[in-house]
């Protein structure tokens, strides 16, 4: 059995789950998400969701854990939400936003202007003496991660000085420079 797939999901307070024609819809105080599930059977009993697979084939085993994880992430998203924080490390690196437009100065000749999806809330924090921080929040975990990865891809942290866009709390492997 899949260790992730066989563990049940407790439905939090204020969250409703609706299962109809292999489509699971989760509604909560922050919004609504839906996910189509394949051949995996889903049962809602006494405030817990359990997942069962039809056979022991490799594809069903992999889908068993996948759909359980996706539905669990949807439950957390509609009740608490997901956030990611990015830190800009480098002299002259700046970030600002006007609505859903993110303006990044990352050491290139021109600023990078990125339009963020309307489902993602964006906030930039620039305190004097500290690195600028970009805060992304949404109820969709996949969308927040995708937007954060896109921003990070503009200037990945380099291993010698650590300059670039990194996640808050990320530990970078540093290399020693040249020895004379």
- SS3 sequence, 17-35? EEEECCEEEEECCCCEEEE
Fold equal for 3-79 and 82-167 = yes
In tens, the pLDDT along 108-152 reads 999 999 999 999 999 999 999 999 999 999 999 999 999 999 999
Q: Tell me how far apart the alpha carbons of residues 163 and 124 are, in angstroms, rounded to a whole number.
A: 18
With bands split at pLDDT 50, 70 and 90, how would you rate the model's confidence at 6?
A: confident
Residue 40 in this model has a pLDDT that exceeds 90: no
pLDDT at 1: 46
Residue 167's nearest CA partner among 142, 141, 143, 131 is: 131
Residue 177 in this model has a pLDDT that exceeds 80: yes
Predicted structure pTM score: 0.88
Q: Which tokens is 19 given?
A: 């299962």
Calculate helix-pair angle for 141-153, 58-79, nearest 10 degrees.
90
Show me where the domains of the chain are located: 3-79, 82-167
Q: What CATH class does 3-79 carry?
A: alpha beta
> What's the average model confidence in pLDDT over 76-89?
95
Q: Tell me how far apart the alpha carbons of residues 65 and 146 are, in angstroms, rounded to a whole number.
A: 21
Across the chain, mean pLDDT equals 92
pLDDT at 2: 59
Residue 62 in this model has a pLDDT that exceeds 60: yes
Q: What CATH class does 82-167 carry?
A: alpha beta
Residue 38 in this model has a pLDDT that exceeds 90: no
Q: Tell me how far apart the alpha carbons of residues 65 and 110 are, in angstroms, rounded to a whole number.
A: 44
Q: Tell me how far apart the alpha carbons of residues 157 and 16 are, in angstroms, rounded to a whole number.
A: 41
């Amino acid at each position: 059995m899949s260790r992730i797939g066989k563990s049940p999901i407790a439905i939090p307070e204020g969250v409703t789950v609706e299962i109809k024609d292999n489509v699971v819809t989760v509604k909560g105080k922050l919004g609504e998400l839906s996910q189509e599930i394949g051949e995996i059977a889903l049962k809602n009993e006494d405030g817990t969701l359990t997942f069962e697979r039809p056979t022991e084939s490799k594809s069903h085993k992999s889908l068993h854990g996948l759909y359980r994880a996706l539905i669990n992430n949807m439950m957390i998203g509609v009740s608490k939400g997901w956030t990611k924080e990015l830190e800009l490390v480098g002299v002259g690196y700046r970030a600002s936003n006007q609505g859903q437009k993110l303006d990044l100065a990352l050491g290139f000749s021109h600023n990078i202007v990125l339009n963020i999806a309307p489902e993602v809330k964006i906030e930039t924090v620039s305190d004097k003496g500290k690195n600028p921080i970009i805060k992304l929040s949404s109820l969709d975990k996949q969308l927040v991660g995708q937007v954060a990865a896109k921003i990070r891809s503009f200037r990945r942290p380099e291993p010698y000085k650590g300059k670039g866009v990194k996640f808050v709390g990320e530990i970078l492997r540093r290399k020693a420079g040249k020895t004379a």
